[in-house]
Chain A
Amino acid sequence: MTRKTIQYSFIVVVLIIAGSVFFAFKEFNRTKKDVAETEAAYTLSSNDIISAFSSDEKAANLKFLDKTIAINGLIKSNDKDEQGMYTIVLGDSASMSSVRCRMDSIHNQEAINLKTGMPITVKGICTGFNADEMLGSDVILNRCTIKIN
């Protein structure tokens, strides 16, 4: 081996190490992608997603869990918690069941002027179904953003 090949291979090794450190660092610090910038995998009404989960929870979990989903429906209530974060509840006001959409902190302001009875489309990540006979069964969406009809 000449002095030059040793020099070159040394540079290559350093570059590979620097590259992998950079990628590892980037991956480690990766933040979740903004839901507003992701395309919805499914768009459906609040009643349709509730019935999909109540009729076959397993199949619905496979289909919707972790996916970005756009839900349209009427606002049943718009709840604000102690930290000022909004949860938009969509669904039929006669039924106990609903789709509960918890706003993303960066999109929270979009929910301020929403009133009960307004038609709306909310986009968020589906985290699952909470079945409860007494309280009504809910589909839960996290990190939501608003798309006004």
Chain B
Amino acid sequence: MKKISIALTFLILCLQAAHAQDKFFTKSGKINFNATAPASPEKIEGINKSVTCVVDTKTGNMQFAVLMKGFEFERALMEEHFNENYVESNVYPKTEFKGAISNNATVNYTKDGVYPVKVKGKLSMHGEIREVETDGKITVKAGKINASAVFSVALTDYKISIPALVADKIAKKANIIVDCSLEPLK
């Protein structure tokens, strides 16, 4: 009996070790884009719910990919302007971020909790590549992790020009909210 239980414990430990995952991913992450100017009477806000994200917990590397045409706005006209005039999604269909968590060592991916992180990397959008750095949050809960961050990008950095006519409605800096629930990659 004792032998069996020892063998069982060993087996369970082996299985757990085999299941320990380094990489986490999602294909249905969310990114919210908000460029509402403070004085604007209407919300200029789009949301994309098909964001691909991979986090390597060992190295802290993280990657995001988002299709610009997947941003949904409340008004059809706004969505068309976003795609045709601003981000020109026909020419630049995809926005990508490649970077890493600078303080990855402070995150314990095996213990439930909320860990503040710093993320640094390159954001390529509208044909331009810029260095970005932001504070984010890694939440570990029951074997899954959630990566979230709020940061802003200056539209002029990515050569997105805003016509004078609507300059009072569209903010110079767009607020980006990232929210991705990641699952272990099998």
Contacts and interface: CB of A to CB of B under 8 A. Distances in A.
Contact of A132 (B52, B72, B77, B79): B52
Interface residues of B, number: 23
Contacts of A127: 50, 67, 69-70
Given A30-B76, A32-B79, A140-B67, A134 B93 contact: no
Contacts, number: 70
Contacts of B67: 127-130, 140
B77 A79 contact: no
Given A132-B65, A135-B25, A140-B67, A30 B49 contact: no
Given A102-B50, A128-B93, A142-B70, A79 B75 contact: no
B49 A102 contact: yes
Contacts of B23: 134
Given A66-B69, A135-B25, A130 B77 contact: no
Contact of B75 (A29, A81, A128, A143): A29
Nearest to A142: B70
A79 B93 contact: no
Given A27-B77, A30-B76, A128-B93, A65 B52 contact: no
Q: Which of B67, B77, B185 has the most CB of A within 10 A?
A: B67
Interface string A133-146: 01100101011000
- Mostly, the B contact residues are strand
A46 interface: no
A28 B77 contact: yes
Nearest to B79: A32
Nearest to B90: A65
Contacts of A102: 28, 49-50
Interface string B160-175: 0000000000000000
A120 interface: no
Q: Which 6 A-B pairs have the closest CB atoms?
A: A127-B69, A128-B67, A127-B70, A32-B76, A30-B76, A128-B93
Interface of A: 27-33, 61, 65-66, 79, 81-82, 85, 87, 100, 102, 127-130, 132, 134-135, 138, 140, 142-143
Interface of B: 23, 25, 27-28, 49-50, 52, 54, 65, 67-70, 72, 75-77, 79, 90, 93-94, 181, 185
